[in-house]
Amino acid sequence: MSPTAMDAPSPDWTDPECPVARTLDLVGDRWSLLVVRDAMDGARSFTEFQRRTGIARNILTDRLRKLTAHGLLAQRTAPSGRRQEYVLTAAGHALFPVVLTLRQWGERHAFAPGEAHSTLVDRHGTPVPDLVPVDAEGARIDADTTQVRKTSD
C-alpha cells in the first residue's frame, strides 16, 4: 500500500491478506468508483460530482472524505481561489485500468445488442482497445491459467 494510504485511518479489512478485498473495502461501493470515474472525466467540484452522479449530498461528502483520506483524491485550491477542488492522486490515476476493465465488461455484458451506451475513445477519437491480461511472454492469461500465492513483501 502506498505511504499515503497507510497513513490514513485503516478500515476494518474484510480479508486483511487479500489485495482484492482491501481494494473493495476502499473503492468497492458504487458511489466511490463513480466519483473516481468522474474525476478521471474532469469533475473537480462537489457540485460537479453531485450533478454527474445524482448522489445524495451526505453520501458524496462521505465518499470524498474517504477517497481523500486514503490517498486516491487530494484537495487543492481551485484556480479561482474561491473554493476547494478534488483531483486524482497517483493512486487515483492508477485505478484507470480498473475503471477501463469495468467499462469494457459493461459494454459487452450489461447492454442488450444494439442498445445505446457510451464508449471510451482516445485523443484521436478511436475506441480504446480491449484490455487483455498477458503473462511475461505476452500470452493471454485468465482465471484458469493463474493462481494466488501468498507473499510477505
Q: What is the pTM of this model?
A: 0.85
Split at pLDDT 50, 70, 90, the class of 66 is very high
Tell me how far the alpha carbon of residue 22 is from its chain's centroid.
13
pLDDT tens figures, 93-104: 999 999 999 999
Beta bridge partners of residue 119, listed in sequence order: none
Q: What's residue 7's pLDDT? A: 53
Helix (H, G, I), strand (E, B) or coil at 28: coil
Q: Is-contact 7 69, C-beta < 8 A?
A: no
* Domains of the chain, first to last: 3-97 (1.10.10.10)
pLDDT at 85 over 90: yes
